């Protein structure tokens, strides 16, 4: 319910701004973040806004974050919001819960029965859908107060809601206490994200002017303060209305208290009767709000005595009554003052009383409160049990981050010899994995493996080792052979007794044998694991081991057999929601990709991503990779808009290092279109290189292209060198080195005529080293490098890994082009140069990568022109230009123009590829000198979308700059 509304003083401008943003008379979806010091008037301002909104026909729902000494309850403010919405729109809530069951855990009584764990994504989707649906019926104002106390899950959900916004008139207002923040505060990093969300308004409430403070205290005092006293209060209050009110109340009562706000608030509490003071001091350790029945039990007072004491506290404006029966401090500062005044012995006794009451009757409060009080009272055994219960409750409402905090607290209270420490470590690792923190998940298991305690059971240790080995595959923090060392030890620990633990270890060791390329051993052990799964009747485990075994088939390059194996797996599982399907579709996509069937690969990646969305596992390992690799595959087949849709992720629930993967993959498209890559963006992604080699590969390719396009060859050499060193430490041999060598060779070749001798020597030495690594990847078993221009049918690599085969042919052609352009090298024959570039074009055509085919074509055209075959050169250049224009690939278009002459290329491009209506609109604004951000505002599109349109316009017009594009447009009368 909306709190009591008081007349605002000195906040007219702030009130007008908030109501203007919300558009009370013209409702629309919006987000507002309100900050200010404690007591500055945030709640009073929003109470007035809420009252005005209700008067204008809005529904209003409040949610409060509660300050506690321990850990909060996951999604606490949203349980309050959903409860309120059930009162004002019960049918909408019922309808949404029916279609999104995860939402039900936030309803009153939602945890009364044991609930299966919910993913954060499913709960977040449910809340967003519910708010949207209620907003469709009537404008909805949602207010979340005191976000500085929000739990991790609530912070993530608030970020998601602010980021996505609403398609119906839903206004979300969030407040936080700015004077509570510091660099390590949990909200600090979140606020940086909120500040970057387009459309989210920020309002910082400043101290009131002295004249406003004087008006406020004069009004409240009812004429009992003279002007001199009001001026003194204004001086001491320093613009804080709550402080001023307390000073005025003290002055009116005749209790003029010296000192700061804490002393003033303490004096107010001292006015209470002794029983009321004791009740207030008891309330202080419960947080800002405490239930009636819990307070009754802890104080030990009779019902009538408690009610009399509370009545006195309410009368003196220290406490407010709430419903359901509960009591809260009128302001958090009052509770903090009461807490600070408690003596150590008094604190201990109160914590014991609270712990005893909560243990005797769990309905009186959440398990997290029992854990907090029990730990403070020194009852660590109870604290551990309660923390595990609190973790399970958080998981049930989709709060794995909160669950992780509870479990890590439990671990901090346990001795290493405690028998349950193994299970708690496994639970904490699971929670970390659910929260997307793979690194923490592995670290928690490693800590217990390395510090096992004196009596760790062999079977439990085997489970720890197998689980840890499985999770090390998701990161590159450990040495490459760490996983198989762990599963090897686990195999020595499990008995021959058949059971789930033995099956877990067999499956994990099989996976490690596969990763270590010990195919024969993997095949034999996989059969044992498969038979055991069948005997135990564990169908899910049986499907998992069959999925692992598909890799054994794949490595023998029998892709036909692999496809049949995957088809059988898909047929067995059907389309029922099963996380294993995500992995199988991912594996099918990888198989199609190796074959060079990129369209089928994209279909399979999209199916995996769709299943991940259906299960709310978007950012689980295979779900994340399905979307990510789907975006990269769309880039390869020339659907750059589709690539951007898949790779541009604004979901705040996406953790690192996954976010860095998407950021760097999107750079591939941006670089292809000629957009510069700011150094701070490159540095931000590089921070996550040690976590996963995949991120290294994703960044180094566009970075090399970007630096090369700008003529910054030393930086391209630097990042390539660093990437190879990082990848060799974590991966050893890797196929991506072939592509990296080819890209770098291309930029060195383009710059060759201008290189000084020192840079030339460095570039040649680095290319020689990279080429040796590429030779090791593509060479025959005898070590001989395959003929780069030999027939396709003679190349096993062309059949088993079309991508690497294409990049290898490109590398050989670029090395010959380097010799040809380097004035200090012996030139190859022009025939060999042409032959090498024909082979590169054919390889990328077979692979199905139109952009790289076009890049090879333009260089083939250059070789043909040097050979005197102008007609064929023109045909190849025209084909390359058509792709460059379609994709908006400005750097490639400039290379074509440099080759065939800018004027004729522009004329041909204008005739063949006219501008769309939207592009003409953008071109007109470009000609007027507007930036991408200003264009986006004018046309109601994002800045990024405007940037894409500009890149395409430059490509279609063959312009090297916005100024040149404007000049061409005027010359051709393209503008109205």
pLDDT of residue 955: 81
DSSP 775-791: HHHHS-TTSPPPPTTS-
Distance, in Å, from the CA atom of 732 to the CA atom of 728, rounded to the nearest integer, reads 4
pLDDT of residue 121: 75
In the structure, what pLDDT confidence band is assigned to residue 67 with cuts at 50, 70 and 90?
A: low
C-alpha Rg value of the chain to the nearest Å: 33
In the structure, what pLDDT confidence band is assigned to residue 467 with cuts at 50, 70 and 90?
A: very high
pLDDT of residue 720: 96
Give the lowest-confidence range in 101-115, 159-173, 343-357, 948-962.
101-115
Q: Mean of the pLDDT values across residues 286-305?
A: 88
Q: Most confidently modeled of 328-342, 579-593, 661-675?
A: 661-675
pLDDT of residue 791: 42
Distance, in Å, from the CA atom of 512 to the CA atom of 496, rounded to the nearest integer, reads 20
Residue 649 pLDDT more than 90? no
Q: Mean of the pLDDT values across residues 163-174?
A: 91
Give the lowest-confidence range in 118-122, 270-274, 403-407, 875-879.
118-122
Q: Which two tokens stand for residue 462?
A: 């085997």
Q: Which residue has the higher pLDDT, 321 or 141?
A: 141
Q: Most confidently modeled of 69-78, 656-665, 962-971?
A: 656-665
Q: Mean of the pLDDT values across residues 506-516?
A: 87
Q: Which two tokens stand for residue 244?
A: 């001023």
Q: Mean of the pLDDT values across residues 412-439?
A: 89
pLDDT of residue 116: 60
Q: Mean of the pLDDT values across residues 100-120?
A: 66
How far is the CA of 152 from the CAs of 117, 124, 128, 427, in angstroms?
A: 17, 13, 17, 18
Q: What is the pLDDT of residues 471-497, one digit of tens each?
A: 888 787 788 788 999 999 999 998 777
Percent of the chain exceeding pLDDT 70 equals 90
Q: Which residue has the higher pLDDT, 330 or 824?
A: 824
Q: Which residue has the higher pLDDT, 447 or 242?
A: 447
Distance, in Å, from the CA atom of 249 to the CA atom of 845, rounded to the nearest integer, reads 83
Q: What is the pLDDT of residues 6-47, one digit of tens each?
A: 778 888 899 999 988 888 888 888 889 999 888 888 888 999
Residue 969 pLDDT more than 80? no
Contact of 67 with 333, CB cutoff 8 Å: no
pLDDT of residue 730: 80
Q: Mean of the pLDDT values across residues 395-424?
A: 89
Q: What is the pLDDT of residues 862-921, one digit of tens each?
A: 999 888 898 999 999 999 999 999 999 999 999 998 887 633 444 444 444 577 777 888
Q: Mean of the pLDDT values across residues 351-380?
A: 91
Give the lowest-confidence range in 54-68, 394-408, 565-579.
565-579
Distance, in Å, from the CA atom of 738 to the CA atom of 797, rounded to the nearest integer, reads 13
Q: Which residue has the higher pLDDT, 453 or 560?
A: 453
Residue 220 pLDDT more than 80? no
Q: Mean of the pLDDT values across residues 498-511?
A: 88
Contact of 171 with 34, CB cutoff 8 Å: no
Residue 792 pLDDT more than 50? no
Residue 259 pLDDT more than 80? no
Q: What is the pLDDT of residues 431-458, one digit of tens each?
A: 988 887 888 999 999 999 999 988 889 9
Q: Which residue has the higher pLDDT, 45 or 927?
A: 45
Residue 607 pLDDT more than 80? yes
DSSP 95-163: HHHHH-GGGGGGSTTTTSS------HHHHHHHHHHHHHHHHHHS-EEEEEE-GGG--HHHHHHHHHHHH
Contact of 763 with 755, CB cutoff 8 Å: yes
Q: Mean of the pLDDT values across residues 343-364?
A: 92
In the structure, what pLDDT confidence band is assigned to residue 795 with cuts at 50, 70 and 90?
A: very low
Average pLDDT, the chain: 84
pTM given for the model: 0.67
Q: Mean of the pLDDT values across residues 255-283?
A: 77
How far is the CA of 588 from the CAs of 427, 470, 583, 670, in angstroms?
A: 32, 21, 9, 28
Classify 869 as helix, strand or coil. Answer: coil
pLDDT of residue 937: 65
Contact of 327 with 319, CB cutoff 8 Å: yes
Q: Which residue has the higher pLDDT, 696 or 330?
A: 696
Q: Mean of the pLDDT values across residues 666-695?
A: 91
In the structure, what pLDDT confidence band is assigned to residue 254 with cuts at 50, 70 and 90?
A: low
Residue 688 pLDDT more than 80? yes
3-state secondary structure 888-935: CCHHHHHHHHHHHCHHHHHHHHHHHCCCCHHHHHHHHHHHCCCCHHHH
At a CB cut-off of 8 Å and minimum separation 6, what does 898 contact? none
Residue 225 pLDDT more than 80? no
Q: Mean of the pLDDT values across residues 249-272?
A: 68
Residue 201 phi/psi, 5-degree rounding, is -90, 145
Q: Mean of the pLDDT values across residues 733-752?
A: 93
């Amino acid at each position: 319910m909306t709190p009591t509304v008081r007349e605002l003083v000195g906040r007219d401008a702030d009130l007008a701004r908030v109501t203007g943003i919300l558009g009370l008379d013209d409702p629309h979806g919006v987000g507002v973040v309100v900050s200010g010091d404690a007591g500055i008037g945030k709640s009073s301002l929003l109470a007035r806004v809420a009252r005005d909104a209700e008067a204008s026909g809005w529904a209003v729902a409040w949610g409060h974050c509660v300050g506690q000494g321990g850990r909060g309850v996951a999604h606490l403010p949203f349980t309050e919001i959903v409860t309120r919405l059930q009162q004002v729109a019960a049918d909408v809530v019922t309808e949404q819960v029916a279609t999104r069951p995860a939402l039900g855990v936030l309803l009153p009584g939602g945890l009364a029965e044991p609930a299966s764990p919910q993913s954060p994504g499913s709960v977040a989707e449910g809340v967003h859908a519910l708010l949207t649906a209620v907003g469709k019926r009537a404008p909805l104002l949602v207010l979340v107060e005191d976000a500085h106390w929000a739990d991790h899950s609530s912070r993530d959900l608030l970020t998601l809601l602010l980021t996505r916004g609403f398609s119906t008139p839903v206004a979300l207002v969030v407040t936080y206490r700015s004077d509570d923040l510091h660099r390590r505060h949990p909200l600090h990093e979140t606020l940086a994200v909120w500040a970057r969300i387009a459309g989210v308004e920020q309002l910082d409430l400043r101290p009131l002017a002295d004249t406003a403070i004087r008006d406020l205290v004069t009004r409240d005092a009812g004429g009992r303060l003279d002007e001199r006293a009001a001026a003194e209060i204004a001086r001491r209050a320093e613009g804080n209305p709550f402080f001023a009110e307390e000073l005025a109340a003290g002055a009116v009562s005749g209790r003029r208290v010296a000192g700061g706000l804490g002393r003033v608030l303490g004096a107010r509490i001292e006015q209470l009767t002794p029983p009321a003071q004791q009740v207030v001091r008891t309330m202080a350790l419960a947080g800002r709000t405490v239930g009636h029945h819990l307070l009754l039990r802890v104080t030990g007072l009779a019902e009538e005595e408690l009610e009399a004491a509370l009545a006195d506290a309410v009368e003196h404006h220290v406490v407010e009554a709430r419903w359901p029966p509960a009591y809260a401090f009128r302001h958090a500062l009052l509770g903090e003052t009461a807490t600070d005044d408690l003596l150590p012995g008094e604190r201990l006794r109160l914590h014991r009383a609270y712990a005893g009451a909560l243990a005797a009757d769990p309905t009186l409060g959440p398990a997290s409160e029992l854990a907090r009080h029990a730990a403070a009272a020194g009852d660590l055994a109870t604290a551990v049990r309660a923390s595990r219960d609190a973790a399970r409750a958080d998981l049930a409402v989709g709060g794995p981050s909160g669950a992780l905090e509870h479990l890590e607290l439990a671990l901090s209270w346990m001795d290493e010899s405690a028998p349950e420490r193994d299970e708690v470590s496994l639970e904490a690792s699971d929670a970390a994995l659910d929260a997307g923190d793979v690194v923490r998940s592995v670290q928690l298991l490693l800590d217990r493996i390395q510090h096992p305690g004196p009596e760790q059971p062999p079977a439990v240790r085997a489970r720890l080792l197998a689980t840890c080995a499985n999770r090390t595959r998701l990161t590159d923090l450990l040495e490459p052979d760490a996983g198989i060392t762990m599963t090897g030890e686990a195999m020595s620990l499990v008995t021959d007794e058949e059971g789930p633990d033995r099956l877990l270890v067999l499956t994990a060791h099989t996976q490690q044998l596969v990763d270590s390329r010990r195919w024969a051993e993997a095949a034999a052990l996989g059969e044992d694991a498969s038979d055991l799964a069948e005997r135990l009747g564990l169908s899910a485990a049986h499907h998992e081991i069959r999925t692992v075994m598909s890799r054994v088939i794949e490595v023998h390059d029998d892709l036909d057999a692999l496809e049949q194996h995957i088809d059988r797996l898909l047929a067995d599982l059907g389309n029922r929601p099963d996380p294993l399907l995500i992995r199988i579709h991912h594996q099918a996509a990888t198989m199609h990709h190796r074959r060079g069937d990129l369209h089928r690969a994209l279909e399979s990646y999209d199916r995996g991503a769709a299943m991940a969305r259906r299960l709310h596992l978007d950012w689980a390992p295979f779900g994340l990779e399905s979307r990510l690799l789907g975006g990269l595959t769309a880039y390869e087949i020339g659907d750059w808009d589709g690539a951007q849709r898949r790779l541009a992720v604004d979901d705040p629930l996406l953790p690192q290092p996954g976010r860095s993967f998407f950021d760097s993959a999107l750079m591939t498209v941006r670089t292809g279109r000629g957009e510069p890559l700011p150094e701070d963006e490159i540095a931000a992604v590089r921070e996550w290189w040690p976590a996963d080699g995949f991120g290294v590969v994703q960044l180094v390719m566009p970075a090399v292209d970007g630096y090369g396009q700008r003529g910054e060859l030393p930086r391209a050499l630097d990042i390539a060198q660093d990437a190879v060193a990082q990848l060799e430490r974590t991966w050893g041999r890797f196929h991506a080195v072939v592509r990296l060598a080819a890209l770098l060779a291309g930029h060195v070749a383009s710059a060759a005529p201008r290189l000084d001798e020192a840079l030339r020597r460095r570039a040649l030495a680095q290319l020689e080293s990279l080429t040796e690594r590429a030779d090791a990847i593509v060479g025959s078993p005898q070590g001989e490098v395959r003929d780069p221009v030999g027939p396709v049918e003679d190349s096993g690599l062309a059949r088993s890994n079309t991508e690497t085969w294409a990049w290898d042919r490109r590398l050989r052609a670029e090395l010959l082009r380097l010799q040809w352009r380097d004035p200090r090298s012996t030139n190859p024959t022009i025939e060999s140069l042409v032959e090498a570039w024909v082979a590169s074009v054919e390889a990328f055509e077979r692979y199905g990568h139109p952009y790289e085919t076009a890049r090879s074509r333009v260089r083939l055209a250059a070789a043909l022109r040097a050979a005197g075959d102008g007609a064929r050169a023109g045909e190849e250049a025209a084909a390359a230009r058509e792709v460059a224009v379609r994709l908006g690939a400005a750097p490639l278009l400039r290379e074509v123009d440099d080759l065939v002459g800018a004027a004729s290329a522009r004329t041909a491009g204008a005739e063949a590829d006219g501008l769309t209506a939207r592009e003409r609109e953008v071109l007109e604004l470009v000609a007027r000198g507007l930036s991408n951000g200003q264009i986006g505002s004018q046309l109601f599109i994002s800045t990024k979308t405007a940037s894409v349109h500009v890149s395409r316009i430059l490509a279609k017009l063959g312009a090297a700059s916005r100024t040149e594009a404007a000049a061409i447009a005027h010359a051709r009368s393209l503008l109205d």
